Amino acid sequence: MDKKQFATERVDRIARDMLTIRDRLFAFAELPYREFKSAELLSRVLRQYGFAVTEGAAGIPTCFYGEFSNGEGGMTVGFLGEYDALDGLSQKAGCTVRDPVKPNAPGHGCGHCCLGVGALAAAVVMREYLIAAGLPGRVIYFGCPAEEGAGAKQFMARSGLFDGCDFIYTWHPAGRNGVDVSHSNAIMGANFYFRGRTAHAGATPYLGRSALDAAELMSVGCNYMREHMIPEARIHYAYIDAGGTAPNVVQDRATVRYEVRAPYVEQVKELYQRVVKVAQGAAMMTETSVTPELAMAFTEYLPNLALSPIVSRAMEEIGAPAWDESDYALARAYLESFPEETKEVLREEFMEAYGEDGWQSRWERPLDGEIRPFSPADIRLEAGSTDVGDVGCAVPCVNLLVATGAIGTTAHTWQFTGQAGSVLGAKGTLTAAKMLSLAAMLTMEDPEAVAQAKAEVKERNGGKYTCPLPDDVLPPIDTY
């Protein structure tokens, strides 16, 4: 059986159905932990394709997994699907001017409508492959909510959902094609609840104790701390509750959310404890109280070195999405839609990547038509974070990047949303499904590489996955 041909033909056969599902997820555009319609749709489709589905996994209502077994024994491959959207990024599919479907509504500004469907198609194809080839094995599709929120995969890993997998593959919409060589930052986030005492701010302010003052002093303390942490680390914050809207009432409550990042989870834990101390100091200064509520944490992502070459070979065999002239014109229009300041930065990046003589022609046709071969030397620290890191710290895991839009398009923008729902996102989704399918087929016939991959994970985690969150921290479904 020609594996490439099988993957290609089977994905093409179900392409129309899969893209219909992509369109429906795009329209649902549900926020983290609220992906009820999306999870129900994906679960129903899995059942239709012969998977046994378990819902409400890891204590999260919109988390699920579907599994299929063929015979006894064999390897188990997992595919990760995501389907949550981002607040405020609603945008009509394929539209190159700002035009939300609904103003201020959520939108798939990270392309998870494509991600979830591409992985779904790969799981369906792998089920058919095991049956057609008469091979024993198991295929599991993991429905992973809230990647844009507090995450789910760390809770899923802590629950042992990934333990039975020999390897897990996933992908992400991007502007280029290749194995993801990011070393993503670990991250940890918490809500800090300050409590004080109300009073009339004009008549008797001395009787009050301002929780808002404490929250502001926490910000001052963290800002001074920035000089004294490693340069790769980051501290972010946002006010969740400023204590009301009446200036003449001393605020007796305030909630501020902090997230800290660093290259490794142990560095994040240390930095988080320093932030807690700053919060406690701010409470002492204002005679208020503070309660930190740790809610989220992701382990750093690193590509599995043993499996990445296999995935890279599968990507090269399938090839990049087949773009045509109308695709190039659409992608160029999206590039031109960015503000001039952003375009200036993008032009500099194009010049650095393609040279003084080549950047303009690439700008005119800004879709990646190549596959970058994997090389460990290309692994670089990236500022972002993903809960896929926790999967890779539990079992062998590799993330693919597949072009679904113009080179240089940054995620979490309305431009990314529009492209995810367009023909560009459709072509990238189907290509990713073929790549994931073929990569899984090739990996199943290479037990030595899988053994090396598992040894790599064991060396990294010491023999057992350790969640960066304590066991008593539950998924923050209603608070984060």
Shared domain for 450 and 312, answered yes or no, is yes
Number of domains in the chain: 2
Assess contact for 32 and 144: CB atoms under 8 A. no
pTM: 0.95
Residue 479 banded pLDDT, cuts 50, 70, 90: confident
pLDDT at 334: 98
Shared domain for 39 and 131, answered yes or no, is yes
Of residues 363, 344, 209, 229, the one with CA closest to residue 290: 209
> Residue 447: which domain range?
3-184+300-323+367-461
- Could you tell me the CATH number of the domain that includes residue 137? 3.40.630.10
Helix, strand, coil distribution of the chain in percent, nearest 5: 45, 20, 35
Shared domain for 270 and 140, answered yes or no, is no
pLDDT at 304: 98
Assess contact for 253 and 194: CB atoms under 8 A. yes
**Quick check: is 477 in a domain?**
no
Shared domain for 190 and 242, answered yes or no, is yes
pLDDT at 1: 76
Shared domain for 290 and 306, answered yes or no, is no
Q: Mind listing the pLDDT tens digit for each residue in 371-425?
A: 999 999 999 999 899 999 999 999 999 999 999 999 999 999 999 999 999 999 9
Q: Which are the contacts of 260, defined by CB distance < 8 A and separation ≥ 6?
A: 187, 188, 189, 233, 234, 235, 236, 268, 271, 272, 275
Q: What are phi and psi of 48, to 5 degrees?
A: -65, -30
Assess contact for 81 and 57: CB atoms under 8 A. no
Q: What is the mean pLDDT of residues 107-112?
A: 98
pLDDT at 73: 95
Q: What is the mean pLDDT of residues 139-156?
A: 97
- Here the tokens at position 306 are 């043993």
Q: Mind listing the pLDDT tens digit for each residue in 414-463?
A: 999 999 999 999 999 999 999 999 999 999 999 999 999 999 999 999 99
Q: Mind listing the pLDDT tens digit for each residue in 45-91?
A: 999 999 999 999 999 999 999 999 999 999 999 999 999 999 999 99
**Quick check: is 413 in a domain?**
yes
